[in-house]
Structure 1
Amino acid sequence: MDHGASLGARGRSVDQRDGVVPEGAAVSVFDDRVPAVGRLQPGLLDALRRAAVDAERDGIRLRINSGWRSPAYQRQLWQDAIVKYGSRGEAARWVATPETSAHVTGEAVDIGPREAAAWLSEHGAAYGLCQIYRNEPWHYELLCEAVCDGCPPMFADPTEDPRMRP
């Protein structure tokens, strides 16, 4: 998905201030200067940082492809998805509305590269980090109970997630 700057609400281009991470410029989980990282919920950020330190020991670098997003940025992604997928129903399988997105509240991250997402899929529960959607192996959220109970079964896609209903 292209996370470059694009036109947002009120005609202002969405940019790094809105949580945009330019394509190919995934950032470290330790880079608080980047709003996509610095505006994540503290518990999620702490869990990501602990996981990143351990992943590094295994030769894996966790990078954030997308984290916190402004409502304007999420709205733009939603509108772009409707165009790309041809309907709201199909778009909802891949992108949440600004009202329902865990990215807007700073409670979700998209992790890359592939090997980092795979490492987190295998080890994430120990930090409370869980893949939520089967069709989005990069999308992780903090579920504290996962530390003791393991991650819950994944939804096939966001349309099965009751939180995605406004």
Structure 2
Amino acid sequence: MEDFYLYDSPSINKLRNLKKEYTNLDITSVLTYFEIQKAYKNIKLNHDSLFQKFELSESKFTIMMLLSYEKDMILSPSDLSQKIGSKKSTISGVLKGLEKQNWIKRVKVSKDNRTNYVQLTSEGLNKLEEFLPYNYELVSNIFSGFSEEEKEQLYFLANKLKINLEKDDFL
């Protein structure tokens, strides 16, 4: 199913009228929510476009980066799914695609013969090294209109938002 995206956010006047009916409506929170949603959508569109130029996807890139952080660039699929917060079955399809592109390979680790581990190949590492300068340039460009102080403040506020969303009693 395709995601819907609201380009035409409600105006302050529309929200003021709605507040008469829905007294718990916090106008500033709703406006902020829509701006964050629009920013996220634009970031994702730009990043996805960059991924495509390098035959990557967000999930492939994430797995390759996680592998690159490890000693010998090896992890089990279970470890990857835990680090990503996704089901092992979801990771399996991505791993198959990475393996087909020869960016990872399956390996046995002598101390655990029950599990196939995955390892980033030299081709996979080369792909990361080719991609990363463009990735970091894109990220820098996203925040180019911000001062260092504003970026630090945004980082603090985004982290605060993330923590609030992770609360057990959120809903």
TM range (shorter): under 0.3
Q: Output the TM-score relative to the length of structure 1.
A: 0.19
Structure (1 or 2) with the greater helix fraction: 2
Scaled by the length of structure 2, the TM-score of the pair is: 0.19
Rg (Cα) greater in structure: 2
Q: Which has the higher contact order (CA 8 A, sep 6+)?
A: 1
